[in-house]
């Protein structure tokens, strides 16, 4: 079944916005996609609509059990490991440093930073192994969705911006670590 798909992708936060649009684009381009989100009903609707090229794992992308299931399902469903991972899941939190709701800050860090790190780490471990055999003939990509607010901090969303600043640092560190091993690491910063 893997020959049917040009790439095997994992996309977190696939139930809305950038994640959903990315998933649709990938399926349209002939990729097999494993999506993730917390909205089981939306994931089921996407599975029904997109057909055999899409399957999903319900749960929080900061949960390592969910991360492991994403990679296991990619191999099980599509016959080979994911060679494209998009770390998109995240949440916002408005407010300045002085006024941000600290009771929500831990949840923001869990999904935006710890969840992204867990996905980047697992992706890197798998893709470096794949590229030892296939590079430069095969492609391996990790794409992290950050934000311009991670570079240009706004006083109105400084806490959120700090989480995206951290994601930027992780992406740059990963790029320097595994880029020379044939795995491309990209940071996309919507604004």
Peptide bond into 58 cis (omega under 30): no
The values of phi and psi at residue 101, to 5°, are -80, 100
As a whole number of angstroms, the distance between CA 27 and CA 136 comes to: 24
Instruction: Output the furthest CA–CA distance in the chain (Å, rounded).
Output: 54
- Residues 86, 33: contact at Cβ < 8 Å? no
Catalytic residue among 23, 82, 160, 164: 160
For residue 135, indicate whether it is catalytic.
no
Which positions are annotated as active-site residues? 160
């Amino acid at each position: 079944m893997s020959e049917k798909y040009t790439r095997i992708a994992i996309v977190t936060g696939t139930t809305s916005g950038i994640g959903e649009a990315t998933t649709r684009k990938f399926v349209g381009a002939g990729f097999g996609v494993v999506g993730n989100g917390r909205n089981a009903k939306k994931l089921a609707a996407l599975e029904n609509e997109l057909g055999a090229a899409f399957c999903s794992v319900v749960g929080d992308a900061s949960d390592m059990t969910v991360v492991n299931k994403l990679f296991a399902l990619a191999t099980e469903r599509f016959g080979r490991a994911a060679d494209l991972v998009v770390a998109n899941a995240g949440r916002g939190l408005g407010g300045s440093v002085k006024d941000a709701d600290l009771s929500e800050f831990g949840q923001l860090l869990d999904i935006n930073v710890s969840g992204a790190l867990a996905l980047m780490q697992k992706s890197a471990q798998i893709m470096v192994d794949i590229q030892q055999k296939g590079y430069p003939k095969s492609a391996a990509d990790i794409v992290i969705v950050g934000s311009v607010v991670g570079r240009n901090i706004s006083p109105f969303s400084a806490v959120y911006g700090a989480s995206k600043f951290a994601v930027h640092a992780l992406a740059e560190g990963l790029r320097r670590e595994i880029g020379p091993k044939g795995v491309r690491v990209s940071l996309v910063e919507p604004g």
